[in-house]
Amino acid sequence: MKGVWTLPKQHRLTGVIGLVTFVYACSSFSTLSRADVSLSAIGMGHGAPSAEMFRQFQATANQYNASGERFRIDTHCPSACTMFLRIRNVCIAPGAALAFHAGGSRRRGVPDPYFTGQMLNAYKPALRRYLTSNRYMETFDFHTISGEEMTKRFGYPACP
């Protein structure tokens, strides 16, 4: 047949294996070439003192979910910062520390169920159960969990 790619039978399998290997290598390269982003690099290792800032944390999490980039929690991460746990490619450095508390305005002095719920929905079920059963999400007192414990106890991936 004219115009059809033909190789002797003994070379066809080698050509197919070579093509598959090339395609796999290219897809692996594109995955590896994505840069990691770290919490310390973007400077959002803090809480959200306003509803507008809270929405900024949510938008940042959405951005990294859409990009697929690895997001490293590599430093102290209190309050609204913990919502980055919902990023699909999040990892936690062993030396990080995450601090949890009820959502809402400290100035008003009353936890807000809406903001607390938004924070809880960002967490894996095991962490959510732990925080609610111990009532850590009912007050503004911080409950800190080490990065190492987050990976071992609650199943979050450790950063390489």
What pLDDT was estimated at residue 21?
A: 33
User: For the chain, first and last CA: distance in Å?
Assistant: 53
Single out the residue of 139, 88, 146, 144 nearest to residue 116, CA to CA.
139
Residue 41 reports pLDDT greater than 80 = no
Residues 6+ apart with CB under 8 A from 83: 57, 58, 61, 118, 119, 122
The enclosing H or E element of 143 equals: strand 143-146
Count of beta carbons in the 10 Å neighbourhood of residue 47: 19
Instruction: Give the Cβ contact number of residue 139 at 10 Å.
Output: 11
pLDDT score, position 35:
55
Mean pLDDT of 33-47: 67
pLDDT tens-digit profile of 62-111?
Answer: 999 999 999 999 999 998 899 999 999 999 999 999 999 999 877 777 89
Mean pLDDT of 14-37: 40
pLDDT tens-digit profile of 106-150? 777 789 999 999 999 999 999 999 999 999 999 999 999 999 999
* Alpha carbon distance 127, 150 (integer Å): 8
Helix/strand number for the chain, H first, E second = 6, 6
pTM recorded for the entire structure: 0.74
